[in-house]
Amino acid sequence: MEMKRIVVLSGAGISAESGVRTFRDNNGLWNNYRIEEVASPQAWLNNMDLVLEFYNQRRKQLYEVEPNPAHYALVDLEQHFDVQIITQNVDDLHERAGSSNVLHLHGELKKVRSTVDPDLVCELDGWELKKGDQCEKGSQLRPHIVWFGEAVPEIIPAAELSVSADIFIVIGTSLLVYPAAGLIHYVAEGAPKYLIDPNASDSFSVSNLKVIKEKAGTSVPVLVQNLINAR
């Protein structure tokens, strides 16, 4: 029998209980910085040191955190479903938990790329990217992150995955950043949809949607068990 496909869209909230700060919550990362100050092409041109430092700190922290029960539950789901994860997160906690199919919409902290050739992407050794670190073509390396105002190259495969979902699960995202926030509208009307977020809005008009206002670490394992039992 063919496995049903579950597509997951995750955001910063799934990693919150691992100790990774979200962007927009109280105490979120964007409380300390103006977004344009660190996550834009202008910032890179005007204040490269700050941008490098910001992502170096994020990258360094990756070595101090671990996946949590929400990440692991999605791995268990693979025994019974074709699980495809679309994540807005630039951490590697889905991969470290053991998920097989992870599409990073907004890039990856552990990767860096050339500023002259966007196809020249490589893994960074360690956590620190410095001014003067160059790609093989001799230009400065930059974080492999999709900044505000930049294109989201993976949005087309992500939309295709969303169209093909039998079940769609959204976890821990404020759904304020497009195009990611629009993916749920590609999902078939009849497909069951779940939204797990303690601060989820009630005024979300999507067919067949169940909103679960709880933290990911406790509610994702429960939802996963229910989906496996109901299979």
Catalytically active residues are 106
CB of 123 to ligand APR, least distance (A): 20
Minimum distance, C-beta of residue 197 to ligand APR, in the bound complex (Å): 4
- Short-list 179, 183, 176, CA closest to 197: 176
Angle value at C-alpha 169, between 3 and 78, nearest 5 degrees: 35
71 vs 140, beta carbon nearer ligand APR: 71
Please say whether the dihedral angle defined by the alpha carbons of residues 206, 210, 216 and 221, taken in this order, is positive or negative.
negative
Residue nearer to ligand APR on the CB measure, 106 or 113: 106
Q: Residue 157, preceding bond cis, omega within 30 degrees?
A: no
Cα first-last separation, the chain: 12
Q: How many residues does the chain have?
A: 231
> What is the spatial distance between Cα 211 and Cα 170, in angstroms, rounded to a whole number?
9
Please report, as ranges, the residues that interact with ligand APR according to CB under 6 A. 11-13, 16-17, 22-25, 28, 88, 106, 172-174, 176-177, 196-199, 215-216
* CB 13, min distance to ligand APR, A: 2
- Nearest residue to 106 (alpha-carbon basis) of 151, 74, 63, 53: 151
Q: Which pair of tokens denotes residue 165?
A: 């979902």
With respect to ligand APR, which residue has the nearer C-beta, 25 or 53? 25
What is the SS3 assignment for 190?
coil
Which is closer to ligand APR, CB of 79 or CB of 205? 205
At closest approach, how far in Å is the CB of 59 from ligand APR? 15
